[in-house]
Amino acid sequence: MPPVCVNEGGPASRIRVDGRLRLEQEAAVGASGCEALRRWQARCGEILTVTDADQRCYRARLICWQQDEARLVPFELLAEPESPVDIWVYQALPEKERFEWILQKLTEIGVQRVVPFVSARSTTLAQRDAPQPKSHRWPEVVRRAARQCRRAQLPQLTAVVDWPTLLADLALADVKLLLAEKGPRWSLAEGLGRQRPQQVAVIVGPEGGFTDEEIAAAQAAGAVPLMLGPRLLRTETAALVAAALVQGRVGDYV
């Protein structure tokens, strides 16, 4: 089974208006748009990014919302804030608070999906939550970051998965990049090739790196071992650098 989304992110979280929006003119939001508002946990008076029937994005103020009826006023036309390529980051669970920071920054970069996982050398969810449970805060971290950077939809955050589940999920991605510290590795340009992929998976290991067995299993699942440069990066740095480089090569960083 694919990893379970725990924050109701993805395309269904895009706030859509059925008609064409006009600046400074009040507009109604239908039932599907109200469902998206619920996923954002929106409140009256809040400013959000919305999409109209012409696929144009606006900043708009939510002026009222009751159940399946809402009204808003658009005041600024935006360029499309979502990347043309779906970047999926599979992140080995780091220690302490670093995963919340990773979630925040990956949301800002434009990643569409974050899948935390446990590997042979990573910490586990039980170990992370032992002193004080904090993983329940992760969906709110994503929501806050998405609001701040004007995302049109919430990136998907999944439940923590094990290594076999990760390998099975990789089959859905067009390109699979494994950040490896040793052995023969490709550059990002070689890993992406000349194609224009729709989905790019980036697999980021723990501080201790992947085991030889994990690298071999990932390669058997179609992943390309990748190097980001001559310096060894911490796991949170590697995740952000890799996502930004993919955006720069096949996404919307120009």
Query: The CATH number of the domain where 36 resides is what?
Result: 2.40.240.20
Residue 247: is its pLDDT beyond 70?
yes
Establish if 5 belongs to a structural domain. Answer: no
Residue 42: is its pLDDT beyond 60?
yes
Establish if 179 belongs to a structural domain. Answer: yes
Same domain membership, residue 65 and residue 149: no
Same domain membership, residue 103 and residue 198: yes
Tell me, what's the pLDDT at 232? 85
Residue 184: is its pLDDT beyond 80?
no
Domain residues for 90?
86-250
Same domain membership, residue 109 and residue 73: no
Tell me, what's the pLDDT at 136? 85
The pair phi, psi for residue 223, each rounded to 5°, is: -80, 145
Establish if 141 belongs to a structural domain. Answer: yes
Domain end point (choices 59, 78, 97): 78
Same domain membership, residue 239 and residue 130: yes
Domain end point (choices 36, 52, 78): 78
Q: What is the strand order of the sheet 57-66 is part of? A: 15-16, 47-51, 57-66, 69-78, 27-29
Same domain membership, residue 147 and residue 36: no
Same domain membership, residue 168 and residue 58: no
Do 157 and 6 form a contact (C-beta atoms < 8 A)? yes
- Three-state SS letters, the chain: CCCCECCCCCHHHCEECCCCCCCCCCEEECHHHHHHHHHHCCCCCCEEEEECCCCCEEEEEEEEEECCEEEEEEEEEECCCCCCCEEEEEEECCCCCHHHHHHHHHHHHCCCEEEEECCCCCCCHHHHHCCCCCHHHHHHHHHHHHHHCCCCCCCEEECCECHHHHHHHHHHCCEEEEECCCCCCECHHHHHCCCCCCEEEEEECCCCCCCHHHHHHHHHCCCEEECCCCCCCCHHHHHHHHHHHHHHHHCCCC
Establish if 244 belongs to a structural domain. Answer: yes
Q: What is the Cα 68 distance to its own chain's centre? A: 28
Q: pTM for the complete prediction?
A: 0.94
Same domain membership, residue 205 and residue 225: yes
Same domain membership, residue 166 and residue 41: no
Same domain membership, residue 101 and residue 71: no
Tell me, what's the pLDDT at 207? 87
Query: pLDDT tens-digit profile of 108-121?
Result: 999 999 999 999 98
Q: Total domain count for the chain?
A: 2
Residue with tokens 């992140």: 91
Interval 71-83 mean pLDDT: 97
Same domain membership, residue 185 and residue 111: yes
Q: Which residue has the higher pLDDT, 189 or 23?
A: 23
Establish if 230 belongs to a structural domain. Answer: yes
Query: pLDDT tens-digit profile of 188-215?
Result: 888 888 778 999 999 999 988 999 999 9
Same domain membership, residue 41 and residue 107: no
Establish if 2 belongs to a structural domain. Answer: no
Query: pLDDT tens-digit profile of 131-156?
Result: 666 678 999 999 999 999 999 999 99
Tell me, what's the pLDDT at 239? 95
Same domain membership, residue 91 and residue 57: no
Establish if 106 belongs to a structural domain. Answer: yes
